A and B are shown apart, each in its own frame.
Chain A
Amino acid sequence: MAVAAPAFFQPQPLLSLLAREAPTLVVACGMTLVIIGREIDISVGSQFAVCGVCAGLLAADKWPLALVLPASVALGAALGAINGMLVAGLRLPSIVVTLATMVTWREGLRWLRQGEFVNLPDGVQWFGLSQRTGQWVLIAAALTLLVALGLALRNISFGRFIYATGSDAEAARLAGLRPQRVKFLTFLFMGALVGLAAMMNIVQSPQVDPKSGTGLELKTIAAVVVGGVAISGGRGNLWGVFAGFLLLICISPALTFLHIEAYWEKAIQGAIILLAVVADGLRARKEQR
């Protein structure tokens, strides 16, 4: 990359890129916890849009930002709790549950809002700071969260519970844990992070796009899988996910610099997911022998 296009490493576009993708990193952190717990959540994109639009409406209704942020997080947590109840409470497969909630939220939002953009009042964009400071705030927030969660996952008992649940739920239960509760909490936490990420997204532009978050689930799952987290649960850490995230967000600017059309982005994303799982499969096969 550095050889093919040195202009890629200019600081200003790089800063904007990182700030733009900071919400994705936050969601990817949550997704990591869910996947380590041996579940998956593909409704994050729709949750993201719902939280974004609701937060935008509240902000437009003259709520102070200090209240809009917790409201958005709480709404996300509530949406996550619904997934969590269906998955952990009723023991339904998370892929199908979240496929259903993904469509339900997305279509519900479109029905109620008819695809309208929400105009935000002054002072919301970049939290009323200058663009540069705002970008730094977002990046710093995302990185702090990443480091805190990465350490917590390794050192706090609940973090270890998630690994235990993901590697063998039955063994975890026999060891005295409550795997279903752990799963419920990971979904709840996932939702809260989505609410936070939605907030981090809407402060970057003067309007809220109700279509935002489309494809977010694929992007984050790709980052998590590329980052070496086993889709079968119980293995992986956030540092790998961060590397996977950096690799993936470089695709689209890299395409521009290498003069490849942007339409290839989705295909390349799919190919990277497949390569990552193939590598994982080959490694597992080698270990078996």
Chain B
Amino acid sequence: MSKLKTLLFRHETLLFFVVVAEWIYFDTVGRNFGTLDSIFDVVRHSVEIGLLALAMTPIILTGGIDLSLGSLLGLCAILFGKLWRDAGLTPLMAGCCTLGIGALAGGLNASLITWLRLPPLIVTLGTYSLFRGLAEAITHGVDTFTNFPASFLFLGQERWMGLPTQAPVFILVAIGIWLLVHRTIHGRSFRAIGFSPEGARYAGLPVERRIAFIYVLAGVIAALAAIIYTARLGQAKADAGTGYELYAITAVVLGGTSIFGGIGSVTGTLLGIAAIAVLNDGLIHARQPREVAGMLTGLLLILALSAPVVPQLWSHLRARRERKPA
């Protein structure tokens, strides 16, 4: 009984019910919401943000944050288009180079954060501006890359074995990250670092190397997301992925990962992604303007942040009141 109760009140379980409730609500309100096509639409639309959220999970676990991922997605999309159109590479080759560029960009974040011990927040705020600025400078703000070959667009627009082609890619990355966080020594060390970086260092963990690794990994995943984004829309523009970092952070925090680090799970992130994706697509099906979805995501983030804190604060206040002599 008590086991069932703990399972029932776990963050993930509650979140699962939220997703189901959203689903039922939009199924009754919206048109054509529950059909297979629309489910595939939801999957297609949320793969890129989902990838960024997966990349963000280990980072937030260590108590860090990466605000530059959305901008990096834009920069990688542009460079991918540039490599394919102007350097004449095949999409496959261009894709490989793009992943390398993502790793380099992640490496820039990683080296500033670990070598100079700078706060991730301000470093990635700087690269957030730098990456987006480079994307705009390279395209002069207007140049877009289109007319990609059909064999490349297959990745974003067609189906493979009945599923949207990008879905297997996403599942592979999700499994990889899940294994990394929950089944390896690396994953345990992320949590140790999140709880106490100093403690982890005294315990003999290579803190700098572990942190550097996850920022580079995040860069590679952002590049992958950029390729899928380009394939889905069939074009690469400098403003690709604007604001995606917010959605990714929201998904991670909504999934129960503590923004202070140390606590969290990949399963939670996946459910968080589902909650946001269903909300976004559901609102479109319910014929609400796009802005409402953005606004609700912001509010949702504040709620998800304060939910675990409010009961603590309440009991803290009560304890203080009782301590005071009447």
A: residues with CB less than 8 A from B are 40, 42, 86, 89-93, 95-97, 99-104, 106-108, 110-111, 218, 221-222, 225, 231-232, 261, 263-271, 273-274, 277-278, 280-282, 284-285
Contact = CB atoms under 8 A, between A and B. Distances in A.
Given A40-B121, A225-B122, A277-B112, 5 more contacts: A104-B298, A270-B126, A270-B128, A273-B122, A281-B118
A135 to B, nearest CB: 29
A42 B292 CA distance: 21
Given A90-B306, A111-B292, A267-B133, A282 B123 contact: no
B196 to A, nearest CB: 16
Contacts of A92: 259, 305-306, 309
B130 A271 contact: yes
A interface majority secondary structure: helix
Which of the listed residues A86, A103, A108 has the most CB atoms from chain B within 10 Å of its own CB? A103
A263 to B, nearest CB: 5
Contact of A107 (B133, B137, B291): B291
A36 to B, nearest CB: 14
Interface string B87-131: 000000000000000000000000010001111011101111111
B294 interface: yes
A266 B129 contact: yes
B129 A269 contact: yes
A83 B249 CA distance: 18
Contacts of B139: 263
A107 B298 contact: yes
A267 B116 contact: no
The interface residues of chain B, by DSSP majority, are classed as helix
B299 interface: yes
Contact of A103 (B121, B125, B298, B306): B298
B141 interface: yes
B137 A264 contact: yes
Contact of B129 (A89, A95, A99, A270): A270
B146 to A, nearest CB: 20
A259 B125 CA distance: 27
Interface string B280-307: 0000000001011011011101100110
Contacts of B299: 100, 104
Interface in B54-74: 65
B136 A263 contact: yes
Contacts of A103: 243, 246, 294-295, 297-298
A232 B294 contact: no
A289 to B, nearest CB: 13
Contact of B295 (A91, A111, A269): A111
Sort chain B's interface into a size bin: 35 or more
B310 interface: yes
B318 to A, nearest CB: 16
Nearest to B108: A274
Contacts of B177: none
A278 B126 CA distance: 11
Nearest to B131: A270
28 contacts: A90-B306, A90-B313, A91-B309, A91-B313, A93-B260, A96-B65, A97-B302, A100-B246, A100-B299, A100-B301, A104-B295, A104-B299, A104-B302, A106-B294, A107-B291, A107-B295, A261-B137, A266-B129, A269-B133, A270-B130, A273-B122, A274-B126, A274-B130, A277-B116, A277-B123, A277-B126, A280-B118, A281-B118
Contacts of B294: 103, 106-107
B129 A96 contact: no
A96 B301 contact: yes
B259 to A, nearest CB: 5
Given A92-B305, A232-B119, A266 B126 contact: no
B181 interface: no
Given A90-B309, A97-B305, A267-B130, A277 B298 contact: no
B205 interface: no
B260 to A, nearest CB: 7
B134 interface: yes
A263 B259 CA distance: 34
Given A86-B306, A100-B298, A278-B112, A266 B133 contact: yes
B296 to A, nearest CB: 9
Interface string B306-326: 100110010000000000000
A252 to B, nearest CB: 12
B132 interface: yes
A99 B250 CA distance: 10
B324 to A, nearest CB: 17
Choose among B119, B129, B243, B260 the residue with the greatest number of A CB atoms under 10 Å from its CB.
B129
A215 to B, nearest CB: 8
